[in-house]
Chain A
Amino acid sequence: MVELASTLAHGILALRAHRERDRAAAELRELNATLERRVAERTAALAASTEEMESFTYSVSHDLRAPLRHIDGFSKVLLEQCSGQLDDLGRHYLERVRNGTQQMGELVDDLLNLSRLGRQALQLRPAALRPMVEKLVDELQPETAGRRLEWHVGALPRVECDPGLIRQVLFNLLSNAVKFTRGRDPAIIEVGMRGDEILVRDNGVGFDPQYANKLFGVFQRLHRSEEFPGTGVGLATVRRILRKHGGDIRVEAGLDRGATFYFTLGRPETASGSPATEESHAA
């Protein structure tokens, strides 16, 4: 009798526990579903806003080009055809106008490229990086005429990537290295591997490392444009391309002690990959 009661009590307890477990499981399932729905909603919202921003950037920069072309054109014609009627000060102001439009033209072009990057799917192919670097070194030759510059290009991997975009990454890093070693004799630019990372090192002017995190933002510049010309979009573009590939970039530098950029290519973002990781760093 006692045994029976005990078995029964056990049974009831087990039943309760079972029911509770079922309820907990159901709650968990519901919670999961809600969570998944929310993630899907947020992802969709993010993707939509990314797309909206890309197309906004595109149309703004596209439409900005027309008036800019007009200012550039007419100020040029004014300078050519009417400069006799202007005194030195007048011509100086006109030059200022022209420099302004030229700079804005470059900014708009860079922004257009950056926005195009966000909208483009990666065209993946295996590509050998060393020949790519060697070709770029050749192309940069005219900019280094009259300077003593040593290139040290080490072993570089063959990687699955979008070669057009990675070429742009390398071009931006190498041309930066050329630009910021101006005045060094000799200038030394090194390209190679360290562990999994590819590095581009120069012995140029470098920068204060406390600003390192600012370097990859759009329109961020650490030097006055009179010293080193540029739009401040190049490294933002570099980081964006690398992150799109699933990689990243970091920098080590010291003021007047050169800069070393380390980057990885990682696994390329697939079509289903979340654009969220990309977006949080956009302009």
Chain B
Amino acid sequence: MLLRENEILLVEDNDADVELTLLALRGENICNQIHVVRDGAEALDFLLCRGEYASRVGVPLPKLVLLDLKLPKVDGLEVLRQLKRNPQTRVMPVVILTASREESDLLNSYQLGTNSYIQKPVDFSQFRERVKQLGLYWLVVNQVPEARAVESAA
């Protein structure tokens, strides 16, 4: 079985944010495989092996999903809802990485089962530090059930 030891899926629509997050993750050498998708619909296709990602059936899920909330097509909360409702993706850690400080976003994310909620600080040094910590924690420290693959397109 192909193990995607340290693969992260980054769900982010903004170019600049993608680049900064990659800089932070790569700079720390935490993760060698980062896949980027640009909206909620693509994130669901990727993780549930549908549409252009149908060939991913049998490929292990990423070890971590970094999910923005404001996304085109399907928003982050809906992506989260579908991932946590689906038995095939439920165990995969999903971390909300957002600019939102709205209490309601925080509450809804946890009610839908997010594993963590991180607010993007304006200060890049702080952002890099947070990304480093979350990468270390979720990819190195934290234990999850053995990497699983979605067995059939959901």
Contact = CB atoms under 8 A, between A and B. Distances in A.
A68 interface: yes
A102 interface: yes
Q: Taking each of A65, A105, A109, which has the highest tally of chain B beta carbons within 10 Å of its own beta carbon?
A: A65
Contacts of B122: 65, 68-69, 72, 101-102, 105, 108-109
Interface residues of B, number: 15
A109 B17 CA distance: 19
B99 A74 contact: no
A102 B99 contact: no
Interface in A105-127: 105, 108-109, 112
A70 B99 CA distance: 12
B20 interface: yes
B124 interface: yes
B124 A62 contact: no
Considering residues B120, B123, B127, which has the most beta carbons from chain A within 10 angstroms of its beta carbon? B123
A66 B20 contact: no
A112 B101 contact: yes
Given A68-B122, A102-B123, A73 B16 contact: yes
Contacts of A105: 122-123
A109 B101 CA distance: 10
Nearest to A77: B23
Interface string A50-91: 000000000000100110111011101100000000000000
B16 to A, nearest CB: 4
B55 interface: no
Contacts of A102: 122-123
B125 interface: yes
Contact of A74 (B14, B20, B120, B123): B20
A68 B20 CA distance: 12
A112 B16 CA distance: 23
A72 B124 contact: yes
Interface in B95-128: 99-101, 120-125, 127
Contacts of B127: 69, 73
A66 B123 contact: no
B142 to A, nearest CB: 26
Nearest to A101: B122
A69 B23 contact: no
Contacts of A109: 122
A70 B20 contact: yes
A72 B127 CA distance: 10
Interface in B1-35: 14, 16-17, 20, 23
B99 A69 contact: yes
Contacts of B14: 66
A65 B98 CA distance: 11
Contacts of A73: 16, 20, 23, 124, 127
B59 to A, nearest CB: 32
A69 B122 CA distance: 4
Contact of A76 (B17, B99, B124): B124
A95 B120 CA distance: 22
Nearest to B119: A65
Contacts of A70: 16-17, 20
Nearest to A106: B122
Contacts of B125: 76
Interface of B: 14, 16-17, 20, 23, 99-101, 120-125, 127
Interface of A: 62, 65-66, 68-70, 72-74, 76-77, 101-102, 105, 108-109, 112
5 contacts: A62-B100, A69-B20, A69-B122, A70-B16, A73-B16
Given A65-B120, A105-B122, 15 more contacts: A66-B14, A66-B99, A68-B122, A69-B99, A69-B121, A70-B20, A72-B122, A72-B124, A73-B20, A73-B23, A76-B124, A76-B125, A77-B124, A102-B123, A105-B123
5 closest Cβ pairs, A-B complex: A105-B122, A73-B124, A70-B16, A73-B20, A76-B124
